């Protein structure tokens, strides 16, 4: 465990639209909406996930390995003003994230196969990703696309999100492609509810969520979307 990182608790659940409407209505009186939302109370997330030649991230998740990590490039609302290369780390029941910004020019060089652009930045995370690309053939694997409705609470540093319309770009890797038409990766009626917090969830939020009545899932968007590339997710891709 890297003690320099901030680790948080993360719970994930599948909920249907009926459950979503009930929980959302309760939360609206108890939590604030994230400051980054648009007029609809949502924003769009598109991520490009990477994996190595052995599909380590995919197989570790499917194999139930508790301590693992994965890499992704993420953008918001289809814009290129904020682009981050992120590493998400799972340690036991905790998660942490480290990230570094990319420019659109850096992203374009990466997609053209020019990995040296990462070394030029002299950032530990980008150096690590560069080594993974050179030594383990870390490469783009799948686009993960969804709409997020987020709520936040200072008490316990709680963040609750409803991730809707999960879609995958299949074999596409250009997250800025305006003509890309991602396909549904989950049943139309399912939404992923994520609950992130530091040390505790305030009792009034617990009551509103009624988590004991929900079905907790691992709900990896990366794995869900990768399964659309081939029927058997254990096969080599």
**Among positive and negative, which fits the CA dihedral 107, 113, 115, 116?**
negative
Instruction: Establish if 145 belongs to a structural domain.
Output: yes
Provide the CATH number for the domain around residue 61: 3.20.100.30
Q: For strand 83-91 and strand 32-33, is the pairing parallel, antiparallel, or unpaired? A: unpaired
Instruction: Establish if 233 belongs to a structural domain.
Output: no
Instruction: Establish if 137 belongs to a structural domain.
Output: yes
Instruction: Establish if 236 belongs to a structural domain.
Output: no
Verdict on whether the full-model pTM lies above 0.85: yes
Instruction: Establish if 235 belongs to a structural domain.
Output: no
Length in residues, the chain: 237
pLDDT band at 235 (very low <50, low <70, confident <90, very high): very low
66 touches 59 (CB < 8 A) = no
Please give the backbone phi and psi of residue 196, each rounded to the nearest 5 degrees, phi first.
Answer: -115, 140
Q: Which tens digits make up the pLDDT trace of 85-129?
A: 999 999 888 999 999 999 999 999 999 999 999 999 999 999 999
Q: Which structure tokens are listed for 107?
A: 């992203």
Instruction: Establish if 232 belongs to a structural domain.
Output: no
Other C-beta atoms closer than 10 Å to the C-beta of 118 total: 25
103 touches 75 (CB < 8 A) = no
Instruction: Establish if 103 belongs to a structural domain.
Output: yes
pLDDT attached to residue 1: 59
Q: Which structure tokens are listed for 155?
A: 């008490």
As for how many domains the chain has, the answer is 1
Q: Which tens digits make up the pLDDT trace of 157-177?
A: 999 999 999 999 877 889 999
pLDDT attached to residue 188: 75
Owning domain of residue 212 = 8-226
pLDDT attached to residue 187: 82
Helix (H) or strand (E) holding 101: strand 94-101
Closest among 100, 103, 98, 129 to 116, alpha carbons compared: 129
Q: Which tens digits make up the pLDDT trace of 8-21?
A: 999 999 999 999 99
Rounded Cα–Cα distance for residues 235 and 237 (Å): 6
Rounded Cα–Cα distance for residues 93 and 99 (Å): 20
208 touches 214 (CB < 8 A) = no
pLDDT band at 231 (very low <50, low <70, confident <90, very high): very low
pLDDT attached to residue 218: 75
Instruction: Establish if 36 belongs to a structural domain.
Output: yes
Rg (CA), the chain: 18
With tokens 């936040």, the residue in question is: 152
Q: How far apart are the first and last CA of the chain?
A: 30
pLDDT at 219 over 80: no
Query: What's the gap between Cα 171 and its chain centre?
Result: 18
């Amino acid at each position: 465990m890297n003690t320099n990182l901030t680790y948080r608790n993360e719970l994930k659940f599948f909920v249907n639209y009926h459950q979503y409407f009930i929980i959302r209505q309760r939360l609206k009186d108890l939590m604030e909406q994230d400051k980054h939302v648009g007029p609809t109370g949502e924003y769009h997330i598109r991520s490009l996930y990477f994996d190595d030649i052995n599909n380590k991230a995919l197989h570790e998740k499917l194999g139930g390995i508790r301590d693992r990590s994965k890499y992704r490039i993420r953008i918001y609302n289809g814009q290129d003003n904020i682009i981050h290369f992120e590493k998400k780390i799972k340690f036991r029941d905790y998660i942490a994230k480290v990230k570094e910004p990319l420019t659109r020019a850096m992203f374009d060089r990466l997609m053209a196969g020019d990995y040296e652009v990462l070394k030029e930045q002299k950032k530990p995370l980008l150096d690590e990703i560069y080594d993974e690309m050179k030594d383990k053939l870390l490469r783009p694997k799948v686009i993960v696309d969804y709409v997020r409705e987020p709520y936040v609470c200072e008490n316990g540093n709680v963040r609750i999100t409803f991730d809707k319309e999960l879609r995958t770009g299949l074999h596409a890797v250009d997250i800025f492609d305006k003509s890309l038409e991602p396909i549904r990766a989950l049943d139309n009626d399912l939404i992923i509810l994520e609950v992130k917090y530091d040390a505790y969830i305030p009792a009034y939020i617990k009551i509103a969520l009624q988590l004991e009545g929900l079905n907790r899932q691992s709900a990896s968007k990366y794995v869900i979307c990768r399964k659309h590339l081939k029927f058997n997710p254990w096969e080599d891709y």
